[in-house]
Structure 1
Amino acid sequence: MSEEKEKSQNGEANGLSHDEKPKNGEIETNEAQEEKIRYPKSVFFIISNEFCERFSFYGMRTILSLYLKDILLYSESDSTIIYHVFTTMAYFFPLLGAIVSDSWLGKFRTILYVSMIYACGNILLALSSAKPIGIPQAPFSLVALLLIAIGTGGIKPCVSSFGGDQFVIPQQEQQLVAFFSVFYFAINAGSLISTFLTPVLREDVHCFGDENCYPLAFAIPGILMIVSIVIFFLGMPLYKIRKPEGNVVVQVVKCIWYAARKNRKSKEKRDHWMDHAEEKYGRTLVEDIKITLKVLVVFIPLPIFWSLYDQQGSRWTFQATRMDGRLGATTILPDQMQVINPILILLFIPLFTYGVYPFLAKFNFLTTPLRRMVWGGFFAAAAYAVSAGVAAVLEASDPVLPSDGLCQLRIYNPYNCNGTFAIDNVLPATNIGSFGYDNLEVDCYGTKNYTYSFNHCLLPSTNATGTVELTEATGYVFYPSMDGLIQLVDDINKPEDGLPKIRTLVGNPSKNYTITFWDEDEVGLQFTSGNSSLFSIDPGTYAVGNSEYELNLGGVYTAVAQLTDDSKAIKEIHFYEITQSNNVHILWQVPQYLIITGAEILFSITGLEFSYSQAPPSMKSVLTSAFLLTSAVGNIIIIIIESIKIFDRMSYDFLLYVGLMVADMIIFTFIASRYKYPEKKDTNESVDGDNVKPEKRLSHQSAKE
């Protein structure tokens, strides 16, 4: 072969016509071209940005439910509703983010601009949680959550695909697969670290005179979000930035709307109602939409799964506040239990991929995506059955609260002598021993006269009378003092933050006595006698005077101080446990986290792969977006159920979700049995195949995003 002819053939092989004469050294083999395409350095900026953003989101969301309940003082039910409204918006805004990105701004500018909104939300949340700032906490916190939802939702559909844009396909397919593996690791690493760290910042740091520090716990994720913007911006010179080409979701909606309107008005019969749009939108788009609609029918039962899965950060966290988190010298905080999920995800993905699925395939079990999703749903139901059992055990130790028409009286005697206490038409004369305590439930209404009588005490008078105001369904503390009868409204509920609470009572409250509780590190916590409010205190063993007392998570305690004979000092402290401390260890939540994580692998990740593999090439982003939207609908279901307040007991609520999930999976099984998988045209497009195209990997890696 002549040299000139060889060059001509090489030129054609490399896409050059006979008329285009290549320059010296320009003709290379395919292998040489692949070697020359370097791994894009820009992706390291994208991966670092994703780590910081996921750290910010999960760090903030981990402590959000407790912030709503303990600081903004919403009820547990209202806190759950607000938490899931926020989650709903976070999964709804990706649709808008995709439209804005593909139609107007492009991925780079969408990520950059929306991230700025995101960071503003983080900053506002940190500022509003700090009382000294002086801004209204509740409204500004809710505005901040809206900004964060817009931010995280707006960039969600853009970051992973923007990273994929940096690679040359097909030459860099293997590098792209590796990128998404690292990208997914960054997501879970950010989630794992922040889920562990922010509860520690919330609980162990004290600021602005509070026993916790939510401002710092929110500020650190905010700082990480600002860092993520800086990192993303610094990579701009290296990015391959594509111009927006129009959003297929918008086209699909227009086409369906047009077909539906024409089908309603037209008398012409078609094989399928979508065929009415063929003249305007073309046969290809119409046929793709037909296939997409078949898959969307399968998606109808999916939201119920998310209504169970997404309560890990709300109801399961509230459940953990009622449990004992002590583990040796450390204490597991209620919101730290959420860290189990990202840890198990990292362990379960390779376990299921290389162990569980191949093993079950030998028995022809769980060989299709829909079968895996059905079992994932039943696993979720099993997780909630376990959590209902744990809740039932916890409820057995809950305090008995005063019911309608009644009130509870807790009467203390802070003196070294016997006495009697009576309330006209409510409480007959009741004997109370020295330093005694009595808990009574009585009819409760209106203003009543009381009488107390003591013998040989330090009181100015051994007999006293007066009036008390009683309101039904209320608990009261009564104790006589040198200043007369002290009446306090009592609260014996399990502490909402899980920490033990204590109240100190002294027979001479007008004198400023100081009671010091020495912890195991010999750090003194001081309480003054003039303040008999309930205080939160860290769990542990405390030395008071010559005695030691154990204050455990979830307990409510009263310390009654005995004065010396001359009433100049405190002689002894008498302790009473009013509300039983948490006696179920927090690690009993581990089984339900194990099962729900297995459900996530079977249902969530498989569902993303199913939506991608079953979609026509032009509809893959549409079905992936639709699958993510089922999560938003699932959170709306939680909001509805919590708003109705069907049950007062958490265990019954969890059993309700078990029933809903089982019924839902029965329906899903029926729908799945009627679904026909399309014929495989490419081995790489197989539903269960191990050879997954890079873009399929992209949808898989976005599961945690």
Structure 2
Amino acid sequence: CINKSKILLYFIEMAESESSTEKLKFWHKYKFPKGAALLIVYQFFSGMGVYAFTLIFPIYMTSMMMYSDATATSFYHARAGITFCMNIVGAIIADSYLGRIKTFLIFYPIDILMYFGVFIFSIYETYTTLVTVVLISAVLCGMYGSAMRAFVGDQIPETDQVMLSTFLHMIYLINNLGIIIIGFVGPIIHKDIYCFKKECYPLNFVLTVLLMVLTFSIVGLGLFLRWFVIKLPTKNIFIETLACIGYGMKCRFQKGRNPGGHWMDYAEDKYGVVFVHDCKVVLGLIFFLLGHPIFFTVFEQMSSVWTFQARYMDGMVTNDFILKADHIQTLNPILVVILIPIFEMSIYPILDKINFKVPYRISVGQYFTAISCFFMVLNQYFINQSLMNGLNPSETGVKVLNSNSFPIVLIDDKYNNQTIPPQGVKKTIISSFGSTATIAVNQSRFNISVFNNSGNFVMAAVYFNNSIFTSVTSRILSQDDGGYSKVRLLNINGLSKDEEIFLNGKFGINKNFHLIKNGSQFGDYVKCEIGTFELVVKSKNSVKKIMEFVLHPGQTELIYVYNENGKLQIQRMTEYKVHLPKIYWQFFPYLFVTIGEVFFNVNTGIFLYSEAPASMKSVLLSAQYMCIALGDVIIIILSSVFESLNLLYFFVLCTVLVFISGLVTTMLGRTYLKEKERRDLNIFSKSSENI
């Protein structure tokens, strides 16, 4: 299953192939077998298909399923954790029993049906069933994901390491190209196209289904033409390694400490010196990986917590070009494609010259990731500041709309006077406890109630109705979602019974929002998109465009309709506006986390494959799956703890944790390098004795 952490898995495979020094002609390395070339096409559409779902699903949970950010985060990462755990199970089944391609052919079609179920259930909004199907899909995705990755690598002869390196690089770049394309198109599909009177998320889901059917057809074509190399299942080294370690532990408890040796040495009589040595190497590398889950705790957040933060930021580049919250994720693959050649051509050669060892490079990646978290702290601080409405809990803000043809006077609880002209608005702040705002018309006084509105703004419209001085009052919604605006209607004897008001998006498909009339009361807020809109009045016989205006992120707008001298008059006024930070401020955390990713992932792949015995590489791949899964578990725990707390503290804690994990990796790397010297001397001495 394609996840952002797939990058690490490809880097691990690349690292093994790049150890070759064989020199071949330039064009030879691009003469891939037919099956390998076909799988490059498969990888392009596969990356697009699954990313079309994972990109928008967190936003879908919060905007349509009405999950809280914390609940959506927990579910998203529970799904990811299940997938990575099941990758290990799928690898065992594929390697030992069914074979790789058969595993794919069994589980992939079922997964297609699951995504088709997501599409259907999203239309009918049966969310409980949808969630169940998504979890089943996570299991299936893990079952065939590792098998398919290995099957892709099987298509290149093992002896042609140069071609294998080129092929894996090509797979990686093509996959990222597909992600970049769908990362730009996907948010536009659900935000700018409306179906069933809502954002068209089902269109994203059916796109995933169609792309998965296409990828399955590509594999089917290769099988029909017999272009693929198919390897039969063999014994699974992961199980044998666990058995060897288990046997060593059993002997350790039965026989006690091994004087002058390692407790794994007890297993040499059953598994042999070389295999036990390999197991000890794996244990050392796994011990080195202890700090890695914290890195993935931050890295995996890009699809969830970071996207949720982007929702509370201003994505308007111009009135007509808007970056969506889920658009910003595309920065990661774009920056990866840009930074990797820069690192390969300049940074890594310099580090090689100064002998800056690989384990320390991995920890540098974690330090850069800590810097990215620090920028997320800054972003969240400015978001929190922008969401404050400036009122104390003991105060109420009052906005008064004068719906009369003559001026009135607004008097606050401190007896300060403000004259409100006809059809004008004035604002004041009063104490919430026992105080009222007063309207004066000539010698008359009229009180406006602010009961139960402490810490909020209210809007009051004052008007004459059949010669009776009256008003309507409603709380102003404190808009705190940067991805949307909210609009409501106040109709004071303006619209006839058959007339309705609509907001039509200037760009997009079916972006029409009906503003509900409520007599002479305030209508309900209607959740709208942002950008340029046309306000039109529709009746049975006509459609009349009244005005065109721009709705900004976090804006609460009032459309005020009244009758003046027998003519329909329409005004718009901003009730509340949040000045959210611009979404492009997330560029800096994405830049630093991507630098951290390139340092961390590339060098982790190089280190694991250069240190691991040839027979143990799949075991270390399984260990990496567990690190990623543990990272997802940590996110779930942190989301649960911080659900009722400020997200600012969440990012502060992540900054501290990932920095500490970098220190841990530095120390463990130093320990491993020293232990490696001792272990190599020990195996050399034992080999000499056997000779």
Say yes or no: TM over 0.5.
yes
- Over residues 566-614 of structure 1, what are the superposed CA-to-partner deviations in whole Å (9 max), with x where a residue is unaligned? 5xx53131402412243x3322222221111111110012112212221
In the alignment, the residues of structure 2 paired with residue 646 and residue 125 of structure 1 have an alpha-carbon distance, to the nearest angstrom, of 27
Equivalent position amino acid for 1:155 in 2: Y
Aligned to 2:148: 159
Equivalent position amino acid for 1:226 in 2: V
Aligned to 1:361: 352
Aligned to 1:146: 135
Aligned to 1:266: 255
1:193 aligns with 2:178: no
Aligned to 1:666: 663
Deviation at 1:345, TM superposition (A): 1.2
In the alignment, the residues of structure 1 paired with residue 451 and residue 97 of structure 2 have an alpha-carbon distance, to the nearest angstrom, of 66
Q: Pick closer, same or farther for the CA change 1:404–1:152 going to 2, 3 Å.
A: farther
Percent identity over the alignment is: 24
Match of 1:216 among 194, 199, 203: 203
Aligned to 2:164: 176
In the alignment, the residues of structure 1 paired with residue 403 and residue 167 of structure 2 have an alpha-carbon distance, to the nearest angstrom, of 69
1:95 aligns with 2:106: no
Equivalent position amino acid for 2:578 in 1: Q
Aligned to 2:540: none
**Structure 2 residue matching 1:74: 3-state secondary structure:** coil
- Over residues 415-452 of structure 1, what are the superposed CA-to-partner deviations in whole Å (9 max), with x where a residue is unaligned? 445668999xx9999988354354657548xxx99998
Aligned to 2:577: 579
Deviation at 1:169, TM superposition (A): 3.2
Deviation at 1:123, TM superposition (A): 1.4
> Once structures 1 and 2 are overlaid, which stretch shifts more, 554-563 or 596-605?
554-563
Alignment of 1:48-447 (within 5 A): 48-130=41-123, 133=124, 135-137=125-127, 139-170=128-159, 172-210=160-198, 212-237=199-224, 238=226, 239-267=228-256, 269=258, 271-328=261-318, 329-362=320-353, 364=354, 367-400=356-389, 412-417=401-406, 433=420, 434=422, 435-436=424-425, 438=427, 440=429, 443=432
Q: Pick closer, same or farther for the CA change 1:647–1:71 going to 2, 3 Å.
A: closer
Equivalent position amino acid for 2:568 in 1: I
Q: Pick closer, same or farther for the CA change 1:259–1:559 going to 2, 3 Å.
A: same
Aligned to 1:12: none
Equivalent position amino acid for 1:663 in 2: I
Q: Pick closer, same or farther for the CA change 1:471–1:578 going to 2, 3 Å.
A: closer
In the alignment, the residues of structure 2 paired with residue 625 and residue 521 of structure 1 have an alpha-carbon distance, to the nearest angstrom, of 47
In the alignment, the residues of structure 1 paired with residue 83 and residue 391 of structure 2 have an alpha-carbon distance, to the nearest angstrom, of 40
Aligned to 1:15: none
CA contact (8 A) 1:495 1:501 kept: no
In the alignment, the residues of structure 2 paired with residue 476 and residue 47 of structure 1 have an alpha-carbon distance, to the nearest angstrom, of 59
Q: Pick closer, same or farther for the CA change 1:67–1:432 going to 2, 3 Å.
A: farther
**Structure 2 residue matching 1:397: 3-state secondary structure:** helix
In the alignment, the residues of structure 1 paired with residue 372 and residue 617 of structure 2 have an alpha-carbon distance, to the nearest angstrom, of 31
**Structure 2 residue matching 1:576: 3-state secondary structure:** strand
Equivalent position amino acid for 1:61 in 2: T
**Structure 2 residue matching 1:235: 3-state secondary structure:** helix
CA contact (8 A) 2:70 2:643 kept: no
> Once structures 1 and 2 are overlaid, which stretch shifts more, 649-658 or 368-377?
649-658
Deviation at 1:335, TM superposition (A): 0.8
Q: Pick closer, same or farther for the CA change 1:449–1:273 going to 2, 3 Å.
A: same
Aligned to 2:486: 501
- Over residues 221-246 of structure 1, what are the superposed CA-to-partner deviations in whole Å (9 max), with x where a residue is unaligned? 12111211121122224223222112
Equivalent position amino acid for 1:527 in 2: L
Deviation at 1:102, TM superposition (A): 1.4
TM-score between the two structures when normalised by the length of structure 2: 0.81
Match of 1:514 among 496, 500, 510: 500
**Structure 1 residue matching 2:560: 3-state secondary structure:** strand
1:555 aligns with 2:561: no
CA contact (8 A) 2:479 2:578 kept: no
- Over residues 243-274 of structure 1, what are the superposed CA-to-partner deviations in whole Å (9 max), with x where a residue is unaligned? 21122112222222232233223347452222
Aligned to 2:542: none
- Over residues 380-418 of structure 1, what are the superposed CA-to-partner deviations in whole Å (9 max), with x where a residue is unaligned? 011111222222223222143988788776655444456
CA contact (8 A) 1:517 1:524 kept: yes
Cα RMSD for the two superposed structures? 3.7
In the alignment, the residues of structure 2 paired with residue 278 and residue 427 of structure 1 have an alpha-carbon distance, to the nearest angstrom, of 89
Deviation at 1:44, TM superposition (A): 3.0
CA contact (8 A) 1:118 1:150 kept: no
CA contact (8 A) 2:411 2:440 kept: no
Deviation at 1:640, TM superposition (A): 0.9
Equivalent position amino acid for 1:124 in 2: G
Q: Pick closer, same or farther for the CA change 1:221–1:546 going to 2, 3 Å.
A: closer
**Structure 2 residue matching 1:633: 3-state secondary structure:** helix
Q: Pick closer, same or farther for the CA change 1:659–1:464 going to 2, 3 Å.
A: same
In the alignment, the residues of structure 2 paired with residue 655 and residue 520 of structure 1 have an alpha-carbon distance, to the nearest angstrom, of 41
CA contact (8 A) 1:69 1:76 kept: yes
TM-score between the two structures when normalised by the length of structure 1: 0.79
**Structure 1 residue matching 2:233: 3-state secondary structure:** coil
Q: Pick closer, same or farther for the CA change 1:577–1:485 going to 2, 3 Å.
A: closer
> Once structures 1 and 2 are overlaid, which stretch shifts more, 91-100 or 373-382?
91-100
In the alignment, the residues of structure 2 paired with residue 95 and residue 401 of structure 1 have an alpha-carbon distance, to the nearest angstrom, of 53
**Structure 2, unaligned runs of 5 or more:** 1-23, 536-544, 679-691
Q: Pick closer, same or farther for the CA change 1:430–1:74 going to 2, 3 Å.
A: farther
Aligned to 2:681: none
Deviation at 1:302, TM superposition (A): 0.9
In the alignment, the residues of structure 1 paired with residue 417 and residue 64 of structure 2 have an alpha-carbon distance, to the nearest angstrom, of 39
Equivalent position amino acid for 2:269 in 1: E
Equivalent position amino acid for 1:658 in 2: T
- Over residues 462-500 of structure 1, what are the superposed CA-to-partner deviations in whole Å (9 max), with x where a residue is unaligned? 99999998487777655467597656565313226x122
In the alignment, the residues of structure 1 paired with residue 241 and residue 397 of structure 2 have an alpha-carbon distance, to the nearest angstrom, of 63
Aligned to 1:492: 478
In the alignment, the residues of structure 1 paired with residue 243 and residue 491 of structure 2 have an alpha-carbon distance, to the nearest angstrom, of 74
Deviation at 1:647, TM superposition (A): 7.3
CA contact (8 A) 2:453 2:475 kept: no
Equivalent position amino acid for 2:212 in 1: M
- Over residues 295-342 of structure 1, what are the superposed CA-to-partner deviations in whole Å (9 max), with x where a residue is unaligned? 111100111111111111222212222223233442221211111111
CA contact (8 A) 2:430 2:436 kept: no
**Structure 1, unaligned runs of 5 or more:** 1-30, 457-461, 681-705
> Once structures 1 and 2 are overlaid, which stretch shifts more, 193-202 or 257-266?
257-266
CA contact (8 A) 2:335 2:594 kept: yes
In the alignment, the residues of structure 2 paired with residue 472 and residue 205 of structure 1 have an alpha-carbon distance, to the nearest angstrom, of 39
1:617 aligns with 2:614: yes
Q: Pick closer, same or farther for the CA change 1:39–1:595 going to 2, 3 Å.
A: closer
Deviation at 1:198, TM superposition (A): 0.8
Alignment of 1:474-493 (within 5 A): 479=461, 486=472, 488=474, 490-493=476-479
Alignment of 1:23-42 (within 5 A): 39-42=32-35
In the alignment, the residues of structure 2 paired with residue 153 and residue 281 of structure 1 have an alpha-carbon distance, to the nearest angstrom, of 31
In the alignment, the residues of structure 2 paired with residue 278 and residue 546 of structure 1 have an alpha-carbon distance, to the nearest angstrom, of 86
> Once structures 1 and 2 are overlaid, which stretch shifts more, 471-480 or 189-198?
471-480
In the alignment, the residues of structure 2 paired with residue 268 and residue 596 of structure 1 have an alpha-carbon distance, to the nearest angstrom, of 44
In the alignment, the residues of structure 2 paired with residue 226 and residue 585 of structure 1 have an alpha-carbon distance, to the nearest angstrom, of 39
